[in-house]
Amino acid sequence: MDKRRKISRLTIRIMHIHEQLVRVLQGYLTDKQFLTVSGVLIGISAAVAAILLKAMVYYIHVTVFPQHAASVNPLIYSAMPLVGILVTSWLTKRYFDGNLSGGNAKIMHAIQQKRSLLPRKWMYAHVFTSAITVGTGGSTGLETPIVSTGAAIGANYGRTYRVSPQDRTILLASGVAGGIAATFNAPIAGVLFAIEVLLGEISVAAFTPLLISAATGAILSNLILQESILLNFHDMAPFDPHNVVFYLLLGFLCGVTSAYYIRTSRFFETIFHRVKSRYRYYKAIAGGILLGILIWLFPPLFGEGYESIKTLANDDTVNLFKDSALFSSIDHDAIILLLLSVIILLKVIATSITLGSGGNGGNFAPSLFTGAYLGFVFAGIINLTGIVSVPTANFTVVAMGGILSGVFYAPLTAIFLIAEITGGYDLIIPLMIVSALSFGVSRYLLGYSLDGWKLQQLLLKEKKGQSL
């Protein structure tokens, strides 16, 4: 106990010294210069949070499953998400006021209020809770918790040093850019995500802190994270103009699938929100059991799913089902494509169950997962006809951008994220085609993104509260 107190006191002392040094620095700099320096500091903090979260998920998974999943009893493997959701639900109730949901929508709401104020607990709460959820197999992603953490770091940094609300918004966005950049080693995508999804519009002068924060995050990611932990692809086939018609069709399918994703997510979120808070543990148990059954049948639904995406890109579909309770012995191409099509429909359900029953995470990774499976199935069906052959890996990664664009209404983020994680711009033309079409079709069918709908619900709830 004495040792813990000494560590706590030392930590507080270091933070106090850091704050005093920054205040002294602030007195010697203009507002623009201070924002630029702050971009570096916030970028470092957001990147460290992102790297810590990635590392925690990796080590939780290694600790729980010290060997490959094949050596673990499938029932135990499928039961772990239930444990993770229960622990996350308990932590959220015990230490974080029972509610950490909202994610991007709450950040957008804070920006719309012209205050950009976020809870201090967000600077660490999402890291621990989402690490437990995803590390034990919750079928969700880490990017939204990283966005929430980075945004809270930037917003509370701005509050600590008493910058204007407008500058605080820039610092908030800088934290988001740094976190996303560190997660994917993709600085351009980090900046574009902050602008497209959260800010909507930004002055040229505000770009500098965002760029510096994103660059800082990417540098730290390069230095610390192993390449195997990051989502990346190599050896993509060159773009063939003769495949444009197939990319056009893929873009349309991505738009329709994105609309399905948004509607399904809305449906399940509405159902889970109707369950009263006093039944949170019953909800966690029910959700954990349902999720366990899905994973028992379809093991790729376990966790983020990035490893299975890499497996798809390598055209190694047999290994995806070797741990399945029912489909482990299937090796027929047509049947495998059918099972992969089912997974496309089930991923959003698994994610919604994870989040709705008490887990913490987001829809960024599940969107990429859904896109990868859609692109693979689409290319596989074309190749099965024998009439023409298309590069499966190209369609797999391009469709990832298509679903991301259609779900988040962020086509530029989708284009440059996939370009950066594939190590070049060879696929920039099909990415532009598929992302733009998916965005257009999804917007035509629904009129709002997934985060846009959640923001509408927040505003409606706020308006009802004011009218009472």
Predicted confidence at residue 430, as pLDDT, reads 95
Separation CA 362–CA 371 (nearest Å): 15
Pick the CATH number of 241-467 from 3.40.309.10, 3.40.50.12780, 1.10.3080.10, 3.40.50.720: 1.10.3080.10
Predicted confidence at residue 412, as pLDDT, reads 94
Q: How many CA atoms lie within 13 A of 44 on its CB side?
A: 6
- Cα dihedral angle (303, 354, 92, 108), rounded to 10 degrees? 90
Whether the CB-CB separation of 144 and 103 falls below 8 Å is answered with: yes
Rg of the chain over all Cα atoms, to the nearest angstrom: 22
* Domain residue limits, the chain: 28-64+100-224, 241-467
Predicted confidence at residue 165, as pLDDT, reads 86
Residues 6+ apart with CB under 8 A from 420: 184, 185, 186, 187, 188, 189
If you write DSSP's letter for every residue of 55-106 in order, what string do you get? HHHHHHHHHH-SS-GGGS-HHHHHHHHHHHHHHHHHHHHHHSTT----THHH
Predicted confidence at residue 410, as pLDDT, reads 92
Matching fold, domains 28-64+100-224 and 241-467 = yes
Full-model pTM: 0.90
* Domain 28-64+100-224 fold: Clc chloride channel (1.10.3080)
Predicted confidence at residue 69, as pLDDT, reads 47
Report the SS3 class of residue 261.
Answer: helix
Predicted confidence at residue 6, as pLDDT, reads 56
Whole-number Cα distances in Å, 395 to 99, 236, 278, 434: 39, 10, 46, 10
Max Cα distance, the chain (Å): 73
**What residue type is assigned to position 16 of the chain?**
H
Whether the CB-CB separation of 388 and 382 falls below 8 Å is answered with: yes
pLDDT in tens, the chain (468 residues): 555 565 556 556 666 676 677 777 777 777 788 888 888 899 999 999 999 998 888 888 777 776 544 456 677 778 889 999 999 999 988 888 777 776 788 888 888 887 888 888 888 889 999 999 999 989 998 888 999 999 999 999 888 888 888 888 899 999 999 999 998 888 999 999 998 888 876 666 678 889 999 999 989 888 887 666 677 777 788 888 999 999 999 999 999 999 999 999 999 988 888 887 778 888 999 999 999 999 998 989 998 888 888 888 777 777 777 777 676 667 777 888 999 999 999 999 999 999 999 889 989 999 999 999 999 999 999 998 888 889 988 999 999 999 999 999 999 999 999 999 887 788 999 999 999 999 999 999 998 888 888 888 777 777 766 554
Predicted confidence at residue 294, as pLDDT, reads 93
